[in-house]
């Protein structure tokens, strides 16, 4: 009855089952996986966010496959602040970054073609690939006092049907930026093998500190050799995932950019999935970037510092270095089973964390924590985790 591409295991995993049970029993959970910013007690400027939705413009429907020009100009303005000059005509709006990935997979790959993605990374890639009939090959991020891309593993994963290299800059959950020296090797590799690059920059503005070794937005690199698609959206940039607005900005060799945009326009025209109110509101929302972004950056930084200091005081685990993003990784050094420990944390301490396998770490022994929860929740959660580790 059903297509094999949707033949996913649908059984609820043990961790989710236990969390549900606990909630049903009315017991509290300190959720350190929470990555929905609208549930993390930030002070959103409610009026300024909602007022543009009342514009009478929203009563008219003027469909446009690339999206409203004013919204695309506001996005170009954002990149100008990052030192990148982008023609608004080279930007196309989508309902989410996930939808942007889907459009690009359809644009670049025939059924069975392959894409290169980092590992560990964002768990949605497998589903996005299945839904778009493409295959995923992973390249490695390796940790040695900091994460770096194993460029040899990128080369090793190449196949005749590989169509694109996906960079997540900075990556989720490792919080690592692509380095300039890595990009120099990767851009040559992509040019040689006619690969497009998809650069997921949803966390770009969440760096802990400046570092000139890191790659900024790929739109700034004056990329003229490799067809490049830069993705971002309001879900992370403005902490507004419910508004469903993201974008693809295209750069690279002129003729390829032109052709890519024509084709993307037809894909987009088929769905026209971005709502008019969100498009109309975007120029206003982009002015709130600092108000919202600053709160998120301060929260993430404070939680990260608390975690590092607390973990440094006990044996048996360590925090991995990170450069940005919304997540932290704790490595268990005492050969504990990460899943068993995550279950134990739910049962015994009422604390929920992600075991590393959720992000496809190559080895066992990692916990991933969201840095978004309010400090009182985060700190109490961390105290209980470390107590379980035998630190108190
Ligand atoms: C690296 C990365 N890219 C994209 C997304 C999805 O963003 P959106 O809400 O725009 O689909 C996420 C969500 O967590 C993410 O972590």
Name the residue of 35, 93, 96, 97 to mutate for ligand 1: max ligand atoms within 8 A of Cβ: 97
Distances (CA, A) of 169 to 37, 200, 232, 299, 391: 20, 6, 11, 20, 34
Place of tokens 């506001």: 74
∠ at Cα 161 (159, 163), nearest 5°? 100
| Torsions phi, psi for 21 (to 5 deg) | -55, -45
Crossing angle for the helix pair 375-388 and 289-312, nearest 10 degrees? 20
Listed residue (33, 14, 39, 15) closest to 353, CA to CA: 33
- Domain limits, the chain: 14-43+290-388, 61-287
Predicted confidence (pLDDT) per residue in 103-130, tens digit: 999 999 999 999 999 999 988 999 999 9
Ligand 1: nearest atom to the Cα of 99: 11
Q: What is the pLDDT of residues 66-80, one digit of tens each?
A: 999 999 999 999 999
| Residue count (the chain) | 392
Distance 294 CA to ligand 1 centre (A): 19
What separation in Å is there between the alpha carbon of 198 and the centre of ligand 1? Answer: 13
Whether 389 is in the pocket of ligand 1, judged by its Cβ within 6 Å, is no
Strand duo 246-251 + 91-94: pairing: antiparallel
* Ligand 1 proximity of 176 Cβ (cutoff 6 Å): no
Q: What percentage of the chain exceeds 70 in pLDDT?
A: 99
The per-residue pLDDT for 391 is 57
Q: Is 188:178 a contact under the CB 8 Å cutoff?
A: no
Q: Residue 371 pLDDT more than 80? A: yes
For the stretch 142-186, pLDDT in tens is 999 999 999 999 999 999 999 999 999 999 999 999 999 999 999
User: Is pLDDT of 4 > 80?
Assistant: yes
Rounded to the nearest integer, the mean pLDDT of the chain is 96
Question: What confidence tens digit (pLDDT) does each residue in 272-329 have?
Answer: 999 999 999 999 999 999 999 999 999 999 999 999 999 999 999 999 999 999 999 9
pLDDT at 221: 76
Residue 224: per-residue pLDDT: 82
Which residue's alpha carbon is nearest to atom 7 within ligand 1?
Answer: 97
The correct CATH number of 61-287 out of 3.40.640.10, 3.10.20.30, 3.20.20.70, 3.50.30.60 is 3.40.640.10
H-helix or E-strand spanning residue 249: strand 246-251
Q: Which helix (H) or strand (E) holds 342?
A: helix 338-344
User: In this predicted model, which residue has the larger pLDDT, 50 or 335?
Assistant: 50
Mean pLDDT of 223-233: 93
Of the candidates 57, 5, 38, 43, the residue with the CA atom closest to the CA atom of residue 282:
57
Q: Is the CB of 128 under 6 A from ligand 1?
A: no
What's the whole-number mean pLDDT along residues 79-89? Answer: 96
Tens-digit pLDDT profile for residues 208-220: 999 999 999 999 8
According to the model, what pLDDT value does residue 390 have? 81
Probe residue for ligand 1, chosen from 101, 124, 171 as the CB with the greatest number of ligand atoms within 8 Å: 124
Question: In this predicted model, what pLDDT tens digit does every residue of 250-265 receive, in sequence order?
Answer: 999 999 999 999 999 9
Fold of 14-43+290-388: 3.90.1150
């Amino acid at each position: 009855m059903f297509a094999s591409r949707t033949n996913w295991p649908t059984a609820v995993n043990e961790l989710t089952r236990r969390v549900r049970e606990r909630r049903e029993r009315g017991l509290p959970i300190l959720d350190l996986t929470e990555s929905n910013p609208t549930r993390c007690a930030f002070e959103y400027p409610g009026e300024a966010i909602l007022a543009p939705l009342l514009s009478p413009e929203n009563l008219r429907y003027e469909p446009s496959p690339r999206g409203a020009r004013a919204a695309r100009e506001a996005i170009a303005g954002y990149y100008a602040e990052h030192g990148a000059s982008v023609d608004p005509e080279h930007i196309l709006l989508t309902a989410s970054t996930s939808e942007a990935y889907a459009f690009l997979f359809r644009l670049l790959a025939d059924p069975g073609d392959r894409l290169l993605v980092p590992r560990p990374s964002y768990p949605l890639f497998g589903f996005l690939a299945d839904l778009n009939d493409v295959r995923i090959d992973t390249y490695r991020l390796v940790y040695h006092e900091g994460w770096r891309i194993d460029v040899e593993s990128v080369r090793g994963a190449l196949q005749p049907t590989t169509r694109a290299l996906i960079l997540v800059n900075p990556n989720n959950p490792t919080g690592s930026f692509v380095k300039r020296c890595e990009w120099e090797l990767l851009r040559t590799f992509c040019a040689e093998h006619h690969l497009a690059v998809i650069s997921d920059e949803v966390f770009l503005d969440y760096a802990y500190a400046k570092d000139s070794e890191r790659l900024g937005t790929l739109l700034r690199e004056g990329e003229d050799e490799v067809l490049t698609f830069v993705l971002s959206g309001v879900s992370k940039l403005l902490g507004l995932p419910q508004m469903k607005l993201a974008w693809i900005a295209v750069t690279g060799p002129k003729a390829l950019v032109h052709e890519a945009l024509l084709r993307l326009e037809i894909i987009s025209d088929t769905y026209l999935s971005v709502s008019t109110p969100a498009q109309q509101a975007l120029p206003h929302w982009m002015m709130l970037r600092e108000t919202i972004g600053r709160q998120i950056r301060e929260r993430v930084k404070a939680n990260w510092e608390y975690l590092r200091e607390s973990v440094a005081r006990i044996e048996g685990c360590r925090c991995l270095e990170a450069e940005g993003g919304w997540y932290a990784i704790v490595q268990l050094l005492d050969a504990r089973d990460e899943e068993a420990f995550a279950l134990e944390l739910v049962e015994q301490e009422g604390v929920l964390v992600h075991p590393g396998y959720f992000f496809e770490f190559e080895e066992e022994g990692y916990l991933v924590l969201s840095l978004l929860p309010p400090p009182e929740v985060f700190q109490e959660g961390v105290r209980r985790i470390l107590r379980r580790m035998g630190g108190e």
